[in-house]
Structure 1
């Protein structure tokens, strides 16, 4: 199928992928009076007395805002907020289809951090959670940080944390396949933007082992010119190593790529330790093609693509994370909830099922959202951010 041609035809036919369907019908005067005035005054006054009742007397408790400024849309870059709308609508469809969560796309006509933060903060009372999407680094770090400080609902940048959670879940199972214990591995992450930094942070929090962060200039160390996101990682790793990507990959156990096509050679993979795990996730063309990585000695390979085994796809994470967070009216999505989500995804594959081509559930596996939601709810309660 020519996906581009067929998608364009269908988008023109659909005129958007979302619709609004009321939960009631208005067929007589009583229906009108209950749905709107005068009956609607009663729930309004209840919410005035206790704003938390907005979670049970309106749709807020199961509604997420999917928000972008259009500056980093998929692999298309800064295409603007209007052009980002098809992606935001698509994300909303995934929220509903996989998690049963209502989602509204909002595209902001600003690249100013202060304006974006203020806009979202002012709208937060209408939603149970905020999913930030396709906002360029390093601005995305500051926007998320600021919103977490001023909002009393979960704020989650999926490009960062959704990616990190699914990578962590895949790596949990990949290490079982290659029989390497947690805490013993050296991990190279190529691409030090929003996704790379979030992956590094989560893998460090989960104590997988040593992490080296690499960008176009080479191995990042404490003497490099760093973004705020990179500074947070180097403050943990204290890395002083220098060198190229090839230097970093020598004797590494794991390679994770969130960078650019064809920048990893077979020689680089051969230089890794036996039982190497290689996740080249640049889309649509990975850092090294899976067949090339396997031929060079990689034991387990996963990509972001659906036409190869072990697709590392964010849809495994965000629907269940928000489903769980909304169910307990969480005030935040914290590290404990992210770690729980990663273990929840990984746990769906029994140890006897694990093999080099099956380390992570399919993106279409309908069990995933419920498993993630259960794990997230428990972690939210145990970490004190659940309000229900």
Structure 2
């Protein structure tokens, strides 16, 4: 028959299952610890008696009395450092007690060899008493050693199971806390998503205003026209660069056209939109450039020079005027909408909403990252607990001679 035990009840179940064998061992261990504790107390009293012996008349220089005081103090100091373990008594506790007792005995032997020979006959009774307790300590060490090697050795398996139970309970507690944290973060993300959705709805409602939709259309059309214009002017950039290198030698531009030429070279779109309809200054620049191309002074191949002249001729024949007019029209419409106080107010509101939405999105991303880390931690702990459960079931079967299935509440 297999016992089904919840993980939180596992330690109590195991203690009950092994009590018939463990309880007698614990009682024997308790008796040995109590006996040793009493022996330590008696030994300490014997040491104190040694220090209270009246000095002898024959101890004229006081060497024996001083040695007795030193021996008493050093023995008492060693005894005070000796720690008696508390229940429950594991194998490790009793084994450490045996080791500490062995160290205590060795220290007593070292101190005794050094100081006891210096004591006079007046301390014969006290020395005999110390030897009696010393021998008893040695006997207790032997008994503890035998007890550990034979009967109490069973507690190694018990302690191992208890340690594994505590480990699996700790991991299960971590999993429980992780699940709670996961629920908290998921709830927080849901709240943030809901808040973000509400703000986005408000944002989209404002954006649905006809003026703003028109503005969006105008800006999109203007962007397309800008790209068309830059494509046409950009095709002459190499010619512009070559022309710049020879300006001031064979070819000249008036100061106003020279200034405009630099603007066209650096920022052609800005230079173009500041022109009057018909772009007279650009034409003035291009006419001088046309001369240089025809004279082959730009060091371009014939094919490149011909292509440049062809594009230049189109621009000089007013091919950019439709684009120029449409740009001015769109810019005027955009400026008109943007100057409306209500639109300004709407833009201000949109900006605040956008900032708030972005702030919330940052929080959402942060919480999702936390959730991802928590889920990874959860998976690691689940892997651990699966491994620990199978190991523990086998260990309990060997130790308690019982079949068991460990149940988790979350299963």
Report the TM-score range of the alignment, normalised by the length of the smaller protein. Answer: under 0.3
Q: Which has a greater percent of strand? A: 1
After TM superposition, the score normalised by the length of structure 1 is 0.18
Q: TM-score, normalised by structure 2?
A: 0.17
Say which structure, 1 or 2, has more relative contact order (CA 8 Å, 6+ apart): 2
The structure with the largest alpha-carbon Rg is: 2
* Higher helix content, 1 or 2: 2
